[in-house]
Structure 1
Amino acid sequence: MRQLLAAVAGLAVLATSACSAPAPPRADAPQTTPTGPITLPAPTGPDPVGTTVLHLTDTSRPDPWNPDADARQLKVTLWYPTKQREGDRAPYMTAEEAKLLLKDSGISTAPYDTLSRTRTNAIQDADPSGRELPLVVLSPGFTKPMSTLTSLAEDLASRGYVVAGIDHTHESYATTLSDGRIAECLACDSDTDPGFGAGLVQGRAADVSFVLDQLTSEWKRSYLIDRERIAMVGQSIGGAAALATMVKDPRIRAGIDMDGTGYARIPKSGLPRPFMFLGSREHVPGGRDTSWDRDWKLLTGWKRWLVLTDAEHQSFTDIPLLADVLGIEPLPGMLPAARGAELTRTYVAAFLDRHLKSRPQPLLEGPSPRYPEARFCLATCG
């Protein structure tokens, strides 16, 4: 169902389970890395970025993975434009979250606290600019924390969006709850069960709908959100969840699946709202993953299908950007990390600007000499 972060050259995508026993840390693992802590790429929009964390509890349903929890707890990270340019930068993740992510991913080429020293661009708890803005919901890949989409989130916020990134509790290796406890990946125990993917995306759709309820009515700064301009973007299973959420919740006006196998079932009448597939070469028409071929036929509104040459599954996340600090060498021919981030940010922002801000986007009308890696697909990719 999913493709994994692995401690091999190029962060190659493995076919084995992400929940298999990880390699033990090497006794001689370096205590420092040659490059030191990495700073994420600077946002490209005009606004400084603020961020804050909300802990929300849905008492209307039990946790789907923890039978001892009669309510669903969610961590939501918000990014937004601010006028504040000075202040403490938000942490990328905690040391304990970083430890569990690297350990359970089988990465032993760097100290376990390495990712917690990654530098972000957003100012912790800065005051928002105060104007009503479109909202973008982000959903990460299975086993991955929301942190792995931070670069994209910061960039969108700098361009004038409120971004709500959801950590789907017990579906990643580590999520810090409101009381400081770490929720680990209980869903990993079920990932080979029949129907697991379909059930997972339906659960995420329920998470998103609850978060939208809270952000648009209960959150003290709900005035920041334009309820008529909401989109969802996800990577891997988060991308599949974007489609599943759109089927269930009409508040999601537009969506993007970044390299995620489709598990949602679109009604035969079709989905008439804008949607974009943005993927790696495994998602070319008739390729290894044929779920996009199936779903493409049922997307009856504005739609695009883009494949990035030499991209791999994690090219749409921060993970390649962090390869150096993890001591991992990229495979020859793989899309360079900085270029992958640039392409992802550019095409995601163009889609959102077109459908949430009604701004014409010639970039989405066909191939661009500035971005030759982006291939537009229909029956084939040009």
Structure 2
Amino acid sequence: MRVVAAIMLALTLPAAGVVWALDSEAPPPRSSLASPMTQLPTPTGSFAVGRNVLHLVDGARKDPWTPTQPRELMVSMYYPAQQSDGVRAPYATDEESRLLIEGAELAGAPVQALSQAGTNAVVDAAPVNGSYPLVVLSPGFTAPRFTLTAVSEELASRGYVVAAVDHAGETFGTEFPGGRMSTCVACQRIGDDGVFTLMAETRARDTVFLLDRLTGPAPIWSHARLIDATRIGMAGHSIGGASAAAAMALDARVRAGVNMDGSFQGVVPTGGLGERPFLMLGVDGQTSPGGGDSSWDEAWTRLHGWKRWLTVVGAEHDSFADTGTLAEQAGASSKAALRGNRAVDLTRIYVAAFFDQHLRGIEQPSVDALAAAFPEVRANNP
């Protein structure tokens, strides 16, 4: 994981005790409506995609990185929509883009590679009425929620509601209402013992709070009726993947989980996660059986339900997020042998197939049956 050593800006948050949401988003500035410099791939499902943005403050819980403030989240809600025409949802603001490009050292990528990236979701589009599974997505450490936009749009186009979450103080830059910027306060503590376990457990509690606000008796999202609360899954990249396991350990409502190349940080309990299914999707070497990350070998023995451990040959750690393909399109250098768009395609295909099988009951081909079409993906049976 890349981190920054500089001192980050402090957060200025709403008063403690406030729990509220912003269930809409303003249209992007006119400059961002020009022809995009980079473009996310078109989703393959049958639905158009809509997006709203929620701003949540949990007044009952202190932020672990700034204990004088309550815990705060930004959430992008993706859902099946009636129309594909309209104002496209902005990928990132100029400042969010600048902070990520500088912090992640994406050499050669201009700010506009992210802030003017072309997306497929329509701002505040009218939903297609129905009852859909909910998938919560948690990004990697220092990475904002927008780095999982491609998989968010793909799932929504296939008939899911998706909640992509920014966890305050854990990204290079997340913009809150009014232009207030949250930066990586947690980066100052990466040398502390147990800090990543704390992060995964904090994100698990974020997920519980989010599910309560989305599916409780007084939901805060105007389209909450779309959510089938009996079919909830969670996926994440890097520490977000560990957080998916931690959330499953904490909350039985999360019925299925995916870890995309994240160290498990000891969050899978000895007794496992019951019979709930789990997918481990990682890079060759580090997160292969017997590789450099022993937490995957340990977690595998503690998972007692349906499970698969897949390795994507040629992928790097960031191949499971959007930044690989967008930076590549913008001319930035990459160490990954796997091309960016191919990495996005594989991530979307396997994550969607997993949730289709375990949240929608749609039987999927075996990994062996898919091998001819996707030779980069190898099944491990440790």
Instruction: Provide TM-score, normalisation by structure 2.
Output: 0.88
Match of 2:254 among 252, 256, 275: 252
Does residue 1:223 correspond to 2:222, yes or no?
A: no
Residue 106 of structure 1 deviates from its aligned partner by 3.2
CA-to-aligned-CA distance 1:329-375 (integer Å, 9 cap, x gap): 334x7111111111111111110000000011113466521111111
**Corresponding residue for 1:240?**
242
Equivalence for 1:163: 162
CA displacement, residues 260-316 of structure 1 (integer Å, 9 cap, x when unaligned): 001143332222210010010121100011111001001000000000111110111
1:70-116 deviation digits (Å, cap 9, x = unpaired): x1111000111111121000000011111111222234524334310
Secondary structure of 2:233's match?
A: strand
* Matched residue, 1:20: 5
Q: Separation in 2 of the partners of 1:167 and 1:96? A: 16
Deviation of the 1:160 alpha carbon = 0.4
Distance 1:36 1:253 in 2: 37
Q: Paired residue for 1:31?
A: none
Question: Number of residue pairs matched?
Answer: 350
Question: Who is 2:346 aligned against?
Answer: 343
Check conservation: 2:109, 2:327, Cα contact below 8 A: no
- Is this contact kept in 2: 1:234–1:241, CA < 8 A? yes
Corresponding position: 1:277 with 2:262: no
- Alpha carbons of structure 1 residues 376 and 114: separation in structure 2 relative to 1, 3 Å: closer
| Aligned-residue RMSD, C-alpha | 1.7
* Letter paired with 1:61: R
Moved more, 270-279 or 236-245: 270-279
- Counterpart for residue 95 of structure 1: 94
| 2:61 matches 1:61 | yes
Q: Which amino acid aligns with 2:308?
A: R
Give the SS at the match of 1:283.
Answer: coil
Partner Cα distance (1:277, 1:366) in 2: 18
Would the alpha carbon gap of residues 353 and 193 (structure 1) be closer, same or farther in structure 2, given more than 3 Å must change? same
| SS of aligned partner of 1:229 | strand
1:36-84 Cα shifts (integer Å, max 9, x gaps): 6011100010111000100111111111111331x11110001111111
Letter in 1 for 2:296: W
2: distance between equivalents of 1:134 and 1:364? 23
1:241–1:264 Cα contact (<8 Å) kept: no
Task: Confirm whether residue 378 of structure 1 aligns to residue 381 of structure 2.
Answer: yes
- Amino acid aligned to 2:51: T
TM-score, normalised with respect to structure 1: 0.88
Q: What amino acid is the match of 1:60?
A: A
Pair 1:279–1:249, CA change in 2 (3 A): same
CA distance in structure 2 between the partners assigned to 1:280 and 1:134 by the alignment: 28
Contact residue 243 and residue 264 of structure 1 kept, 8 A: no
Deviation, structure 1 residue 19: 1.5
Point out where structure 1 has 5 or more consecutive residues left out of the alignment: 5-17, 23-34
Work out whether residues 141 and 237 of structure 1, in 8 Å CA contact, stay in contact via their aligned partners in 2.
yes
Pairs within 5 Å for 1:181-330:
181-217=180-216, 218-219=219-220, 220-272=222-274, 273-281=276-284, 282-330=286-334
Asked if structure 2 preserves the Cα contact closer than 8 Å seen for 1:243 and 1:255, the reply is yes
Contact 2:113 2:327 in 1 (8 A): no
Q: Which whole-Å CA distance do the structure 2 matches of 1:88 and 1:355 have between them?
A: 33
Per-residue Cα deviation, 1:112-134 (whole angstroms, up to 9, x for no partner): 34310111010011111121100
SS of 1:361's equivalent?
Answer: coil
Match of 1:140 in 2: 139
The SS at the match of 1:253 is strand
Q: Could you tell me which runs of 5 or more consecutive residues in structure 2 were left unpaired when the two chains were aligned.
A: 8-34
Find the aligned partners of 2:223 and 2:323 in 1 and give their Cα distance. 31
Q: Deviations over 1:220-246 (max 9, x none)?
A: 322110000000000000000000110
1:183-231 C-alpha deviation (Å, 9 max, x unpaired): 1110000011001111110000010110011111322322110000000
Q: Who is 2:41 aligned against? A: 41
Whether the 8 Å contact between 1:351 and 1:364 is mirrored in structure 2 is no
